[in-house]
Amino acid sequence: MTVPALTSAQRKQRALVASWARERVSNPATVFLDTETTGLGPTAEIIDLAVVDLHGNVLIDTLIAPVSPIPPETTRVHGLVDADVVGAPAWLDVYPVLALLLRERPVVVYNADFDRRMVGYCCAAHGFVGEDGDWHCAMHQYAAWAGVQSSHKHARYRLHKLGDALASFDLPPGNHRALGDAMACRSLVLALADSAF
């Protein structure tokens, strides 16, 4: 199968994404974050949180005990059940550590809008003022790299699942757990930074 040559516009877009990725990986303060939650809305809670640094060192990897039970529909995504989080720390205990860790650091997430929103929801529910921080979305960057036009009127490029983005670089998929997906996001950004086109 012959792969069509990239257009000048596609090469330019890939160069911009590669430059973004190189900027992220050239900053030793950069961290990669992922969460798993009990749902999508403002009452959802983070139940699995991981942060890794540029070298793949694990800075945070913790389950978090939610206030409400874990719904079966989210268990089907990440595999976590109520018994898994018995004895886990509460958001009240985890967030101060997370806030200190993220302060003045670039935070890269695959679907940063979602994870940032979830952190905000959990903070609001527990009386914390969430950190603004320097968040970057690897999902939107990869969408621009792939360059598939979106049919959605509010998006220029079609978004891709993390597993599909990783597969395009022959990288192993994440595992729908926070640590595995944070590591997978790191691998993707490293691949984008090292890409030739």
Q: Residue 83: CB partners within 8 Å, gap ≥ 6?
A: none
Burial of 97 (0-12, 13-18, 19+ CB in 10 A): middle
Which amino acid does the sequence have at 17? V
Q: Which pair of tokens denotes residue 17?
A: 């994404």
Tokens 């720390």, residue?
89
Model's pTM, two decimal places? 0.93
- List pLDDT tens digits, range 135-171: 999 999 999 999 988 877 667 899 999 999 999 999 9
Give Cα 135 distance to the centre of its chain: 10
Burial of 109 (0-12, 13-18, 19+ CB in 10 A): buried
> Given 3-state DSSP classes, what are the helix, strand and coil percentages for the chain, each rounded to the nearest 5?
45, 15, 40
- List pLDDT tens digits, range 107-119: 999 999 999 999 9
Q: Which of 43-47, 119-123, 155-159 has the lowest mean pLDDT?
A: 155-159
pLDDT of residue 83 exceeding 90: no
Following DSSP, what letter does each residue of 61-85 receive, concatenated? EEE---SSPPPHHHHHHH---GGGG
pLDDT of residue 1 exceeding 50: no
Sequence spans of domains, the chain: 8-193
Rounded Cα distance, 136 and 142, in Å: 12
Give the chain's mean pLDDT: 92
Fold adopted by 8-193: Nucleotidyltransferase; domain 5 (3.30.420)
Give the residue among 136, 67, 46, 59 at the shortest CA–CA distance from 100.
59
pLDDT of residue 197: 64
pLDDT of residue 188: 98
